[in-house]
């Protein structure tokens, strides 16, 4: 599984070479690159361009309105009772459209034994995402308040249908939609993002969609702030509201404190402290998040 992530990262580094070769062809002009450092965002644990836990209105990849770009990411979160891994790839088209796929694996380690699922029982989820930037320019519209606005949707499928059912979850697949507004307040080096997500996913869908407490989609607010310390470094915090649909497993809102470093236009490293609250009856899941994103 990890091997697949490495292949994705390798592809992201390799593809620019192909694209540049195409630039020399008289018939095909595929422009790549051109975004300012860090402005493609990083990859969320669900694969969208943005922050670590919540998407932004930015479009992934280094491309501008004249080209294409892409990224691959691998993200690991180490918690007291669980470990989480996600990896995937996304493309950005003309700084307008974003398509993403990410695989998530949630390893229950010893909890698996305690819950009678077996040692190291793993929930896996596939997340397919699409996002369209509708209006605004988060970076350059510095003389007006209008943020950059994007709409997105995700289709998610979970590998553990039977267990989700036993836990009180309603479905092993689900969709969600969201709207994001992102604005860089350059005169104070501050980036703000707000996202409204219409969802019924339990723990982003790792524990299924809908449940015995509530099966309906609800509107959840997600917020992130970042303070630019240098052209290649941003630090900040994120907050993500979450549904609470399962009677046996209370779910909390998420919080993180992060630092992201664009080593260059290709690779961005992000580290964070995350507080994911209660997950599948095990409380205080606080730990370390590390993410590597490579793209063109």
Residues 6+ apart with CB under 8 A from 114: none
In angstroms, the CA 58 to CA 164 distance is 33
Nearer to another protein, 116 or 264 (CB): 264
Nearer to another protein, 192 or 255 (CB): 192
CB of 241 to another protein, least distance (A): 31
Nearer to another protein, 114 or 192 (CB): 192
CB of 153 to another protein, least distance (A): 27
Residues engaged in binding another protein (CB under 8 A) = 31, 33-37, 64-67, 95, 137, 139-143, 186-189, 228-231
CB of 142 to another protein, least distance (A): 4
Residues 6+ apart with CB under 8 A from 215: 170, 200, 245
Nearer to another protein, 103 or 183 (CB): 183
User: Residue length, the chain?
Assistant: 296
With beta carbons less than 8 A apart as the criterion, state whether 246 and 211 touch: yes
- Phi (first) and psi of residue 18, to 5 degrees: -65, -45
CB of 229 to another protein, least distance (A): 7
CB of 106 to another protein, least distance (A): 38
Nearer to another protein, 186 or 248 (CB): 186
CB of 159 to another protein, least distance (A): 41
With beta carbons less than 8 A apart as the criterion, state whether 65 and 94 touch: yes
Residues 6+ apart with CB under 8 A from 7: none
Nearer to another protein, 197 or 265 (CB): 265
Residue bearing tokens 């793993």:
122
Beta bridge partners of 74: 87, 292
- Report the Cα 204 to chain-centroid distance in Å: 11
């Amino acid at each position: 599984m990890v091997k697949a992530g490495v292949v994705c990262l390798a592809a992201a580094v390799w593809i620019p070479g192909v694209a540049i070769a195409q630039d020399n062809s008289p018939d095909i002009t595929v422009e790549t690159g051109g975004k300012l450092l860090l402005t493609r965002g990083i990859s969320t644990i669900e694969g969208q361009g943005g922050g670590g836990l919540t998407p932004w209105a930015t479009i992934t990849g280094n491309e501008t309105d004249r080209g294409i770009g892409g990224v691959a990411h691998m993200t690991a979160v180490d918690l007291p009772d669980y470990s989480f891994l996600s990896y995937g790839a996304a493309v950005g088209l003309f700084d307008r459209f974003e398509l993403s796929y990410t695989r998530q694996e949630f390893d229950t380690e010893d909890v698996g034994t305690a819950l009678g699922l077996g040692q190291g029982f793993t929930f896996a989820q596939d997340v397919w995402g699409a996002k369209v930037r509708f209006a605004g320019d988060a970076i350059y519209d510095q003389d007006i308040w209008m943020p950059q606005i994007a709409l997105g949707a995700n289709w998610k499928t979970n590998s553990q249908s039977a267990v989700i059912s036993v836990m009180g979850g309603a479905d092993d697949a689900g969709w969600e939609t969201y709207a994001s507004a992102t604005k860089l307040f350059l005169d104070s080096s501050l980036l703000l993002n707000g996202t409204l997500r219409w969802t019924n996913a339990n723990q982003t869908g790792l524990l299924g969609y809908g449940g015995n407490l509530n099966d309906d989609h609800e509107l959840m607010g997600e917020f992130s702030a970042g303070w630019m310390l240098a052209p290649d470094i941003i630090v900040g915090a994120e907050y993500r509201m979450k549904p609470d649909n399962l009677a046996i497993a209370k779910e909390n809102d998420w919080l993180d404190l992060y630092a992201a470093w664009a080593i260059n236009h290709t690779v961005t490293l992000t580290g964070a402290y995350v507080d994911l609250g209660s997950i599948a009856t095990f409380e205080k899941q606080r730990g370390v998040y590390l993410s590597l994103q490579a793209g063109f």
